[in-house]
Structure formats: structure tokens, C-alpha cells
Amino acid sequence: MIIGRRSAAALCAMLVGLGAAGLPGSAAAEPVGEDTPPPKVNLVLDVSGSMRAKDVGGKSRMAAAQQAFNEVIDAVPDGVHLGIRTLGANYPGENKKLGCVDSEALYPVGEVNKTEAKTAVATLRPTGWTPIGYALRGAVKDLGDGEGTRRIVLITDGEDSCGQPDPCDVARELAASGTQLTVDTLGLAADDKVRRQLGCIAEATGGTYTSVQDTDQLSDRLKQLVRRSADTPLENPAPAEGGERCADAPQLTPGVYADRAEFGQHRWYQVELQPGQELRASLSVAADRAVDRDYAVLLRAVSERGTELVRGREAGSGRTDVLSTGLRYPWNGEEERTVCLEASHAFSAPASVQRTPGLPVELTVDVVEASDTADVAFLGLARGWVPVLLLTVTGLAAGLLAGLIGRLRNPARRA
């Protein structure tokens, strides 16, 4: 699962020296007040025919889900708006066209009337198909627009039986839309195909996947996810569409920004620095789909003339969810300077993996007063003739000193 994808850039920024006081105000958690929109949770329940199976502690999967839903309804935190949507609950026939649009809002998202919500859940009987992708799109509409955290929790015992729309593609569409939305998935059957599909849905939106073995575990996990919606502070990075080159790049001020970068694509942004200021930036790229084992991310600060000023780079191999890097660049010139930030990644993927939308990119930008010790950029070597000259002189001096010490220690060499 992806842990804290929306906070990864801020974490990386701390690693390059950002203290709490230096974090941009847009990224800081704010206390929940009267004007804060309520968190919304939509529970999406599979009511397809396979939910009749009696393999959850001696109960049918449907009965276990109904019991867990009743417990969750009783425990909904104050201020959380809850809704319930079903898939496969109405059409029992063999017509795929009808079965693959069988999804409806069972209980509208809003303040919960516990009696009404429980009564609605009690009417459910395992019936039809498993149109997961179609149901996810409906669940997003149930949540509505506006600010505030929004969470979908999908509970199913099988993979999508319709094929179109593909649930993973739908999840990526939701993530690319820039809305504050997380999809968590709970699997009621120990099946590799189900696990892969539900894991893909969760990863695409920064959610979690859990394989559920019994009623208590299902109830506990559902309550945990509903509570998390109330406890998680809203962090909503501003959308920023990077340019194809520096001249076309958007100008960024301190803050946290979200973008997308396709495989092999380079995204450009501009930041203005005044004399005596230091740019601190970090880049995080999330692997929201199956990728090859070797990968890297690169963040470069470049002058308007194309001279590289400093870079931050991170690479790895194996499984990862988020990869981050960062850089610092102090400007001690006499006039304002435009610094171009180039963000790119070296993720690749098998040919079967969908290329669009691009991988999620999160960029943190901060501008602070330059410190006296920041003459050479951190997390990356400074570029240009000055550091090269310094390194050359240092190496020459070290060589001469080593030779002198060697001659002093070996009298034969002095003869």
C-alpha cells in the first residue's frame, strides 16, 4: 500500500533541513472548526450471488457484512457523513448489459439515522453481477463535490465480472482528477486475482487493501477506516501542470503541488529568488501501478540559460510505492533570479500496463533566508566552474601535503 503519499514530499523536505516553522502554510494541518466541511465516507458493498458462500466463521459472507455494517453504523463518529452503495443487489439474470449497471445508492451520504440505515442493510440479499468499476464511479457521485476529505470503502468477495470500465483504470482516473479522495478495499475471499485487483484500486488513490478472514476483523477494519476519515487532517496540494520546457513553465510560490508525469516525460516549473534567499524543493513520485524493478527520480535546478545549478537524485530496485528526492540552492547574487525546476522519473513498466494518466507527482517548494553554511547545495553537488576549481585546488594541496609527509617519514628518499 501507499503510505502517506500526499505527505511524502513534505517528509523529504524535512530531510533536507526544513523545520516545522519552514513548512508552507498550505500544507499544515488546521484544527477542525465550524466552517470545515464534514468528512464523507461511502461504503460500497458487493451483493452479488457469490456472497451467499458460508465461509466466514460459519456465516455467509453477506451475513458477516451485514453484521459488520450494523456495528459500524452504531460507531460512526460525530460529524462524519456516511453513505452506503450496493453493486449486484437487484438484477439476478444472465444479461450482462443489465447486470453490469446494477449499482445504486442504498443510503445517501449524510448524517446517519441509525435505524433507517440498519433497516436498509437488512433488506439486502445476494443477487447478481460484480460491476466494481461502474459502482466506483457511482460512489464518487454520491460523495458530491466540494472541500473536505472523501473516502470510499469497497467490500467485495470477487473481482469485477464486467470488464468495462476496468476498476483499476477508474481508480487512476479518480486519482488524476485532483480530488481529495481515497479508496480502501476489503477482500472477503483469499484469491490472488481479487487481491491484485483490489490492491491496484487502493494503490492508485493512496488507500489500503486488507484481506478479511472473519466478521470481527471486518467490523474492526471498517470502524478504523471510518474513524480515520474524521482523524485525518485535510492536506490538499494545489494542482500544477508543468511545462515541456522552462520558458513555458508555471511560476510557483512556496507550497505543495500535485501533477502527473508520463513515462519518459520531463516537467518544468519556475521559482523566483531574491538575493539572499535559498530555494528548498523536494519531489515525490508514486508508483500507482505495476512498474519494472529498477527506477529513479531526478529533480534539477537550472538557470534560465540552461546551466545546471544543483540536482537531487534517488534510485532503487525492487518494490516501492513512493520515491523521493530533494535539493537546496542558495542565491547570493545582486538581482532577482529565476530558477527552473526540472522533475523527471525513470520508472518503466511492462507493455501491458496503461501509460495514461502519468504517475502522480508531488512537488514541495519553499523559499527561506539563505544560511551562511549553504554555499554548497545539499543532497546534490553544486555545478559550474567554481566548485570544480575548489575541488581541483583541494586535491592538489592534499597531494603535495601527502608527498611532503612521505618524504619526512622516509629519510632515504631525501638523500
- What pLDDT shows up at residue 365? 93
What tens digit of pLDDT does each residue of 51-107 get?
999 888 788 999 999 999 999 999 999 889 999 999 999 999 999 999 999 999 999
This prediction's pTM: 0.56
Q: What distance in Å separates the CA atoms of residue 389 and residue 395, rounded to the nearest whole number?
A: 10
Q: What average pLDDT does range 134-147 have in this prediction?
A: 88
Quickly state the pLDDT bin for 373 (edges 50, 70, 90).
very low
Domain annotation for the chain: domains and CATH numbers: 36-231 (3.40.50.410), 238-385 (2.60.120.380)
Q: Which helix (H) or strand (E) holds 154?
A: strand 150-156
Distance of CA 388 to the CA centre of its chain: 38
Judged against a pLDDT cut of 50, whether residue 15 lies above it is answered with: no
Give residue 193's identity as a one-letter amino acid code.
K
pLDDT in tens, 334-364: 899 999 999 999 999 888 888 888 888 989 9
Identify the pLDDT of residue 18.
37
Query: Whole-angstrom distance between the N-terminal and C-terminal Cα of the chain?
Result: 70
Q: What integer pLDDT is reported at residue 9 of this predicted model?
A: 41
* pLDDT tens-digit map of 374-405: 344 333 444 444 444 555 556 656 566 656 55
State residue 400's pLDDT score: 60
Give the pLDDT band (50/70/90) at residue 236: low
146: left (phi over 0), alpha (psi -120 to 50) or beta: left
- For residue 76, which of 123, 39, 104, 121 has the smallest C-alpha distance? 39
What is the SS3 string spanning 100-113?
CCCEEEEEEEECCC
Q: Which residue has the cell 444479461?
A: 95
Asked whether 23 and 366 are in contact (CB, 8 A), the reply is yes
Higher local confidence (pLDDT), 234 or 19: 234
The one-letter amino acid code at 172 reads R
Average per-residue pLDDT for the chain: 81
Q: Quick: pLDDT tens for 146-182.
A: 677 889 999 999 888 998 889 998 988 888 776 668 8
Whether 254 shows a pLDDT value over 60: the answer reads yes
What does the pLDDT read at residue 52? 92
Rounded to 5°, angle at Cα 297 from 292 and 303: 150
- Model confidence at 2: pLDDT above 50: no
- Coil, helix or strand for 408? helix
Instruction: Please give the average per-residue pLDDT across 287-291, as a whole number.
Output: 81
pLDDT mean over 256-261: 90
What pLDDT is stored for residue 393 in this prediction? 58
Strands (E), 287-405: 294-302, 308-317, 322-331, 337-345, 359-369
Mean pLDDT is lowest, of 4-8, 31-35, 147-151, 244-248, for 4-8
> What is d(CA 173, CA 38) in angstroms, rounded to the nearest whole number?
24
- Averaged pLDDT for residues 217-232: 84
User: How much is the pLDDT for 334?
Assistant: 87
- The confidence band for 10, taking pLDDT boundaries of 50, 70 and 90, is very low
pLDDT at 31: 40
Cis? peptide before 357, omega within 30° of 0: yes
